[in-house]
Each structure stands twice: as C-alpha cells, then as structure tokens.
Structure 1
Amino acid sequence: MTRVSYFAAGVACMALLAGTAGAQAAAKCITGAHKAPYTLGWANIYSVPTWMKQTTDTISQEVDALKQQGLVSKLMITDAQGNANTQIQQIQSMIDAKVDAILIDAGSATALNRVIADACAKGIAVINFDSLVDTDDLTAKVNTDQGEWGKEAAEWMVNQLGGKGKIIVMNGPAGISVSDDRRKGAEPVLKAHPDIKILAETNTEYNVAPAQEAMTNLLFNNPEIDGVLSLGGALSAGAILAMDKQGRALVPTTGENYRQFLELWKKKGLKGWATMQPNWLGALAAYTAVEALQGKDVPAYVKVPLPIIDDNNLATYIARTKDFPTDGYIYSPYDQAMFAKLLTQK
C-alpha cells in the first residue's frame, strides 16, 4: 500500500474544515451482536472497467491489512455486470448471509433504496461510495464532491479561454450520479459566461474507444473548437486521440487521472487540468465500515478533498506510471492514518 505524501496536506486541511461536511452518523444502522473479525460484502456494480478493478484491488488490500489486525475474517465480492436489478439481488444475498457490513458502488441513484433500507433495518453497516444513492438510510456515504469537480473544471476552462470560445462538452453515462453531478456542477459557471459557446455535448462510457469515436464525429461537424470540457479521464484521452488523428490542433482539455490522458498531456505539451475520483474510496469505505462496527462514531458523509493535477505536479504522477495499469488511473497515495483523519469530520 502506498503512503501519504503531498495529498496529506489536503486531508489535514479538510479535517480542520470538516464541520461543514456532514452530521455525525453515530454508527447508524448497526444493531445486534457484531464481533470482530467481521465479514464484509462488496457489492460492485460492474468489474470490467479498469477503474473498478483498481478499486477492488484497494478494497482487497485494505481488507488484508484489517485481517492482519484481527478485524476482518472474510470479504464477499459480487459483480452485477452493470445491472441494478442484479445488484439488488446480490445485496439481498449478502443480507441473507448475515454479513456485518456491505460496501456499495451504486448502479442507480434510486433503485437500491429499498434493499439498502432492509440491510440497515437488519443491523448491517452500509457504506455507499463513489456513485451514490439518494437515500440517507445507511451508515455513511464516502465521496469527493462531484459538483465541485465539474465547477473547478469549468472555471479552469473559462480562465484558459479568457471567458470566450467554442467548446465541446464530454460527459460520462447519463443517469450515473458521478457523471450527472459533475455536469450539474459545471452548469452555473458556463451560464455565467455566455461567451463560452457549447458547440456539442455527448455522453459515453468511461472508455477511450467510444469517447474517441464520439469525438471524431463531433469534430467532423465542428471545424473550429477552442476547448474540450471533458468530465472524465478516459474521455479526455479519446478526445486527444481523435483530434490528433485528424491533424487538428490540440486545445485546452480538462480530464481525470487516467494514465493515458496524463501521458498524452505530457507528450503533446497541451494545456491540461485534471482531478480524480481516487480508487481508494473503496478502501476508505471498508475502513469506515470496520470503525463503525467497533462502535466508533463516523460521519454520515465522509467528504474526500479533490486532488488537483496541473503542470506543477504532472511530472510527479507520470513518474509513478510503472505502478499502474496501462489503461488505469494513477491515484494519489493513501494509508490508514489518512483515513483516520478523514473520519474526524463532524
């Protein structure tokens, strides 16, 4: 497991400002006898995307550490293959198996609410991270601020273009909370700068190939663009590859900590900005569940600060590429000490 470096400073600041992050959960949902070592369930919406594979790896690594501490005995992992109804059934199976805690990356903001309420009513700790549900009938939610994600990306683009220009907006899948919330966060900034004209907008999977195809089609219809407001890293890589293949000049592009995007950014010398949805949100969810099961108070909402990648620290991320898959995400370091600071939020 990697260790805290530059990211720790952001966490420390967040801990000091944590009074605004959410109400204290006091281990909501947890009733009955829960004795270590605990059994955890990881209800994954889909396992194919590399981001999810890396996330599962961080959960497994954290569980291994908790096993060594005598706090966890077993991790049950399911894969709903992108189907919310399947995810509901798998969560129900975890309830029936009487796991102590369930970690959920939701395939729907609403469809899981009933089964989550059932888990809560039966005394199971429920930790929802990344893609969130719209119910608070659970132990805790763990996430970055996706609205802030979109807002900061849009502000960077406006500044790069001096408040005037033609842009293409690239979103992730419609109906997924992280995608929708990023776009909602960008909207007030774009509305406040009417000279930033949106030529076209698209929703694609968080994968390079469909993003490149979508961008290729948009470029044919838009011979002049000044920026790409991409709200996902693989989308950014696809956009750059499409522009490059057509011999188009590269324009300021926002994105995420997707390895190929960062490498293209460095190689092509483009003007870029990125943040991240750290894969270790899953590990933090596992840690939070175990803390709650031990009777400790945890925040109802664990807010993780957004790490920013720009020209000042891009080289730091590029230097760590060997530790990450070619089609993966270069996420910031983490450890249990950092997790403990995040859980001091009130």
Structure 2
Amino acid sequence: MKRIVSKSMLVRAVMAGAAVVAVSLTASGSANALSNCIKGDRKAPYSVGWANIYSVPTWMKQTEGTITAEVDELKKAGLVKDLMITDAQGNAQTQIQQIQSMIDANLDAIIVEAGSSTALDRVISDACAKGIAVVNFDSLVDTNNLTAKINTDSNEWGSSAAKWLIEKLGGKGKIIVMNGPAGISVSDDRRKGAQPVLDANPDIKIITETNTEYNVAPAQEAMTSLLFANPEIDGILSLGGALSAGSVLAFDRQGREQVPITGENARQFLELWKEKGLKSWATMQPNWLGALSVYAAVQALEGKDVPAFVKVPLPVIDDSNIDGYLAKAGDFPADGYIYSPYDKALFDKLLAQ
C-alpha cells in the first residue's frame, strides 16, 4: 500500500530533522559557546599554558604544584596533553610577551596570575578573540574579555581583618598596616577593603604602612625599620601570611612585646602564633585556586557553562581551629602555606554557583 505524505507531515519531518541536527551540533562544537571566548575546532586532549608573573614566593611554588597535579589528573582522563609554564620574574611586559607566545602557539587554554591589573588587558582580550579559554585567578585583570575570573573576595579579606583587629583593640590604638606589593590587585583590593572599616573607627590611628614582597625576609626587614621609628605600636594589620611571620620575627628580635596581628595561613606564621601565644586571626587564599583554574578552563573547552566569576569562600582561622591546621603542617613546606583539601567534587560545586 502506497503511503501518502501530506505537506504538513513533510514540514514536521523537516523540522524534526533540523532539531536533531541542532542537538547534534550542540553536543559537539556549538556547546562551546556556553562559556566566553570558546570557539573554533578545539578538541581534547588540550594544550594548556600557565602564565605566571613570578615563581619565587613559596605560595607560587605551591600553587604551581596544584596546577601540575591537576594537569596530571586531566591527562589520565584524556583531556589534556601538555602544559607550558612561563615565569615573567615580576615584569608585566615580559608576561605580555609570554602570553603572546602562547597565543602564537595556538594553545587551547591560558591560565593567568596577573602582574598588572591593567597592562595585560589587550593581550588577554586577543587570546579570547582567538577562541582560547582564558582563566585568571588570584591577582586579577580589569578586562572581562576572558572566560572566567576565580578568586576569594579580597575586599572582604581586608574588611574582615580590620574588623577583627579593631575589636581586639577595643576600638582605639596605634597600628601599622603591612601590604603586599603595590599594583598587584590582590594586595590593593585587600587594602581597599580595610579602608571603610578604618574610616568608621577614627580612634584607630595608622602610624605608617609599608608594601613588601610576600616573603618573610623582606617583611621582617621592613618591620625592623618601622620598630626603630615607632616606639608605641598597639596592633598590626597585616594583609598577608609571610608579612605576618616577618613582623612577629622582627618584634621578637627587637625584644618588643608582641601585639595583636592579623594574617594568613602561612605555616611559619601559624607555628609562631601557637608557640608565642599570639592574639591573632587569619584567613586563606587557597593555593588550589590554580588547580581550579585549569579544571574550569577544560570544562569550558568541553562545552560546559563556566561562570564569568567564581567566588571561593574565605575560611577563618582562629584559636578554635588553629590546631587542626597545624596537625597537617608536616605535609607542607616550612615556608609554605597550609591550605585546605580540594577535589573534583569541590570544584564542581564552586563552578555550579
């Protein structure tokens, strides 16, 4: 029996076929459009670049360790084939050139720890325009022409530290502010976050403040000079872990009585805190932000919808839980940072925000 196909049936068949094609396209190349920058014929295994501003601080070395470990896991899953690592040695112009080399090599993803919040905008935008997944973490750039930014809230970091110190001092006293390098967004943003809190407490007097590398030795040297010039200090608003350790060592060497101090999860600082019975508060910039950035870039390349900004919650370290951190100290370098555990389940949860 001959089947009669009506015009309406034919139209429905064509439309159904088109829908199948659309689903097929979405399952392959078009799905990549869910995340910013992703376009072109990019297929696993992917080539990943890690454009670091400098690798000397232990925090950076530990961060690189989480990145290489994550790449190893993704290699086992057949999602990554190689990792290119560069070190700009603190020079933003060098970092621009190194990112340009990654673009020229047509890498699939570039992970960036920025040496300048503004200088890298153009080269990062160029990478995005060429369909490369660009994920920026910790020290952020101004441009949003990238796939994702991943960070804790640096303003909240500074605000919370200032609130704790002011409360500990009873709302009055003379303090010194210790900052990381000027021009690095994570350092500048922590300081900006602290300012409204300081403004609201006029009986807290900032004697002076300083900027140093996130390393103990220069921080200790800077604080030693400040101790000679300032005989009366009631508290230290330190906006970095190595800065806090350097400050405590400077006070100790000068025979000065320790004062309330804020800080971070640097192992040396936490050990000094416990050893000397310091009045302290700390939070954490997890080193695994680097690993999460690699994972997010690969997820974007695989067609997943990665948020433009991934906010990682800030933990609090105080007298109630410091022992738990110190119990893990042996797993981290003596001059390193004791960071919280991470895994794929945590990463998926953060990317699902």
The residue that corresponds to 1:326 in the other structure is 334
| CA-CA distance at 1:247 after TM superposition | 1.1
1:39 and 2:37 aligned: no
Deviation at 1:309, TM superposition (A): 0.7
Displacement, 1:210? 1.1
Superposed CA deviations along residues 36-60 of structure 1, whole A, max 9, x for unmatched, are: 1111111111111111110000000
Whole-Å separation in 2 of the counterparts to 1:122 and 1:331: 35
1:117-148 Cα offsets, whole Å, 9 max, x none, are 11011000000001000000000000000000
Q: Which runs of 4+ in 1 moved over 3 A?
A: none
Q: Conserved in 2, the CA contact under 8 Å of 1:237 and 1:264?
A: yes
Query: Structure 1: which amino acid aligns with 2:296?
Result: T
- Aligned-pair CA distance for 1:217: 1.1
For 2:191, the equivalent position in structure 1 comes to 183
- 1:49 matched residue in structure 2: 57
Contact 1:252/1:271 (<8 A) preserved: yes
Tell me, which stretches of 5 or more residues in structure 1 are unaligned?
Answer: 1-24
Distance 1:261 1:70 in 2: 40
Instruction: Please name the residue that 1:113 is paired with.
Output: 121
Partner of 1:31, secondary structure, is coil
Residues 57-96 of structure 1 mapped to structure 2, 5 A cutoff: 57-96=65-104
Cα shift readout 1:198-235 (whole Å, capped 9, x = no counterpart): 11111111111111111111111111111110001111
Total equivalences in the alignment: 321
* 8 Å CA contact retained: 1:212, 1:242: yes
Please tell me whether the aligned partners of residues 29 and 123 of structure 1 are also in contact (alpha carbons under 8 angstroms).
Answer: yes
TM-score (norm 1): 0.92
Which stretches in structure 2 are left out of the alignment for 5+ residues? Answer: 1-32
Which residue pairs with 1:290 in the alignment?
A: 298
Amino acid across the alignment from 1:236: S
User: Which protein has the larger Cα radius of gyration, Structure 1 or Structure 2?
Assistant: 2
Note the C-alpha offset of 1:79: 0.9
Determine which structure has greater relative contact order: mean sequence separation of CA pairs < 8 Å that are 6+ residues apart, divided by chain length: 1
Q: Secondary structure at the match of 1:311?
A: coil
**Cα pair 1:26 1:299 within 8 Å, conserved:** no
Structure 1 residue 26, shift from structure 2 partner: 2.9
Alpha-carbon distance between aligned partners in 1 of 2:181 and 2:170, rounded to the nearest angstrom? 29
Whether 1:122 and 2:136 are equivalent positions in the alignment is no
Answering whether residue 328 of structure 2 is matched by residue 315 of structure 1, we say no
How far off its partner does 1:240 sit?
0.5
Q: Which amino acid aligns with 2:118?
A: T
Out of 248, 263, 287, the residue aligned to residue 271 of structure 2 is: 263
Output the amino acid matched with 2:131. G
**Deviations for 1:290-334, whole angstroms, at most 9, x for unmatched residues?**
100000001000000001111111001111111111111111111
Provide the residue aligned with 1:11 in structure 2: none
Quick one: which amino acid aligns to residue 317 of structure 2?
A: I
**Which AA in structure 2 matches 1:210?**
P
SS at match of 2:161: helix
Looking at structure 1, the residues matched to 188 and 237 of structure 2 have their Cα atoms a distance apart, in angstroms, of 14
Question: Where in structure 2 are the equivalents of 1:1-346 lying within 5 Å?
Answer: 26-345=34-353
Please tell me the residue identity of whatever aligns with 2:326. Answer: I
**Alignment partners' CA distance in 2, 1:215 and 1:114:** 37
Q: Deviations over 1:276-296 (max 9, x none)?
A: 111000000000001000000
When the two chains are superposed, the root-mean-square deviation of aligned CA atoms in Å is 0.8
Q: Can you list the C-alpha shifts for 1:96-125, whole angstroms capped at 9, x where unaligned?
A: 111110000001111111111110110000
2: distance between equivalents of 1:26 and 1:190? 42
Percent identity (aligned): 76
Whether the aligned pair in 2 keeps the contact of 1:236 and 1:253 (CA below 8 Å) is yes
Instruction: Read off the aligned partner of 1:135 and give its amino acid letter.
Output: T
Give the whole-Å Cα distance in 1 for the aligned partners of 2:211 and 2:53. Answer: 19
